[in-house]
Structure 1
Amino acid sequence: MAGGWAKDGAVQDQIDASIDDAVQQARSRIPAGESLTRCEECDAPIPEGRRLAIRGVRLCIKCQEERDKEETTHSPINRRGSKDSQLR
């Protein structure tokens, strides 16, 4: 039951929209096309197994790990469930 001026199910609609946005963002980051043989950031060779496993790979493992680490630490999405976290 929603309170105030919100319709019933508004909270669930917001949750669903957040999930849809996150899925769309993740899909947009999936590489496509031909894989590179050398990393586009550090010019290190990309192992053949990685190129075969991931279509369109552009980074070596080390550079990809660094990029993944940066993305997870700067996430703008509030993952905490309490209302208090939204007030901070």
Structure 2
Amino acid sequence: MAGGWAHDGAVQDQIDASVEDAVALARSRLASGESLSHCEECDSPIPEARRKAIPGIHLCVSCQSKLEAQQTAQNTINRRGSKDSQLR
């Protein structure tokens, strides 16, 4: 049950949109192409097992972890527009 001017199912539509955005973001971050033998950030060798497990990999484990930590910190969107998010 939606209130105000929102139609029935508006909350579910918002949830679906959030999930679709998260899936699209995850897919865009997947590596593609040929794996590199050395990390493009720190030039350390990438183990063969990692290259086989993740086709198209360009970063070593430590550089990939740093990148993911930065990306997670940037993706703090509150779609609901709660009062807390407006006060920050």
TM-score range, shorter chain: 0.7 to 0.9
- 1:10 is matched with which residue? 10
- 2:27 is matched with which residue? 27
Q: How far off its partner does 1:14 sit? A: 0.7
- 1:63 is matched with which residue? 63
Size of the alignment, in residue pairs? 87
- Secondary structure of the residue aligned to 1:33 is coil
Question: Counterpart amino acid of 1:85?
Answer: D
Question: Counterpart amino acid of 2:84?
Answer: S
Percent identical: 58
Question: Counterpart amino acid of 1:77?
Answer: I
TM-score by length of 2: 0.87
Q: 5+ unaligned residues in a row in structure 1: which ranges?
A: none
CA distance in 2, matches of 1:86, 1:69: 21
Q: How far off its partner does 1:27 sit? A: 0.4
TM-score by length of 1: 0.87
CA distance in 1, matches of 2:76, 2:39: 28
Q: 5+ unaligned residues in a row in structure 2: which ranges?
A: none
Q: How far off its partner does 1:76 sit? A: 3.0
- 2:84 is matched with which residue? 85
